């Protein structure tokens, strides 16, 4: 019991950074904004090169289709990755996107009791924070998956094109630069995103212990019932984490 409680405390205290000076949440958000600007640059270059290939279609037969099946696929994968990154930013910054069903107190003789009202207010606040963390983790996991696929495809394609364009300096610089950026992002950025996912999982576990919820679906939506122990759930008192652990261990 003590070992289990101390492990949660150690995970909560341990801090990680991104870009050496920012927290993980802030650093990943900055990288997502940079991805959005990179997507705009990639789309502009793709449109410019496609228009240039259409104007020179007589001299460069078949190069237009080659351009679409190489750079076009990268642009689509990058756009999908940026979409889920933007969704993560919207759930992190815009609180109105997180919608939680608030529970109303039943009419009783002690309805005017301020302590009871404060308990229900804290319960709704905990529900809101948990749902917000779930939404962020869901979009961040999708962003992570599409990022890995995009970078792996970019590395494989750039390595193949480097052999083809080995005697064309202008194209060779382009594919080598894309490969180097993809390798750096795959080694450093993806590791930071995975660490942020671990922090979101830890936060959900801590909030589930606080609310007394036994099973937490980190990717699903929260239902009306607060716990598998019954619908008449009351928020635990402060500094009662050890007591909740003892109850959970006895039930197990």
SS3 108: coil
Which residue has tokens 């109105």? 96
Buried b or exposed e, range 180-198, using 16+ CB within 10 angstroms = eebeebbeebeebbeebbe
Structural domain contains residue 62: yes
252 in a structural domain: no
Residue 57 falls within a domain, yes or no? yes
Q: Specify if 56 maps to a domain.
A: yes
Compute the chain's Rg from CA coordinates: 25
Whole-structure pTM over 0.85, yes or no? no
38 is a domain residue: yes
- Taking the CB of residue 87, how many other CB atoms lie within 10 A of it? 19
Whole-number pLDDT of residue 71:
85
Range of the domain at 54: 23-96+120-221
114 inside domain: no
Inside any domain, residue 14:
no
| Region 5-32 average pLDDT | 71
Q: What number is the average pLDDT over the span 83-96? A: 90
- Cα separation, 32 vs 50, whole angstroms: 26
Rounded Cα gap, residues 223 and 166, in angstroms: 58
Q: Tell me which DSSP letter residue 219 carries.
A: S
Considering its fold, how many domains does the chain have in total? 1
145 belongs to a structural domain: yes
pLDDT of residue 174: 81
Q: Which residues pair with 22 in a beta bridge?
A: 18
pLDDT tens digit string along 98-115?
A: 776 554 444 444 444 555
pLDDT score of 130: 87
């Amino acid at each position: 019991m003590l070992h289990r409680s101390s492990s949660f405390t150690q995970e909560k205290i341990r801090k990680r950074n991104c870009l050496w000076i920012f927290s993980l949440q802030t650093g990943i958000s900055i990288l997502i904004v940079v991805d959005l600007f990179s997507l705009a640059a990639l789309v502009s270059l793709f449109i410019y090169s496609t228009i240039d290939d259409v104007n020179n279609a007589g001299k460069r037969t078949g190069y237009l289709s080659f351009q679409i099946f190489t750079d076009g696929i990268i642009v689509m994968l990058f756009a999908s990755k940026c979409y889920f990154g933007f969704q993560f930013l919207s759930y992190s910054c815009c609180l109105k996107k997180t919608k939680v069903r608030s529970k109303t107190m039943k009419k009783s003789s002690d309805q005017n009791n301020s302590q009871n009202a404060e308990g229900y207010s804290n319960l709704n606040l905990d529900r809101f924070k948990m749902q917000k963390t779930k939404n962020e983790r869901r979009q961040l996991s999708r962003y992570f998956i599409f990022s890995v696929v995009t970078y792996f495809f970019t590395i494989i394609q750039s390595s193949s094109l480097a052999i083809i364009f080995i005697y064309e300096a202008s194209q060779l610089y382009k594919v080598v630069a894309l490969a180097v950026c993809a390798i750096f992002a795959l080694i450093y950025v993806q590791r930071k995103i995975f660490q942020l996912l671990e922090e979101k999982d830890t936060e959900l576990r801590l909030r589930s212990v606080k609310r007394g919820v036994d099973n937490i679906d980190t990717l699903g939506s929260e239902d009306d019932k607060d716990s598998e122990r019954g619908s008449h759930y009351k928020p635990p008192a402060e500094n009662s984490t050890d007591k909740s652990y003892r109850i959970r261990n006895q039930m197990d």
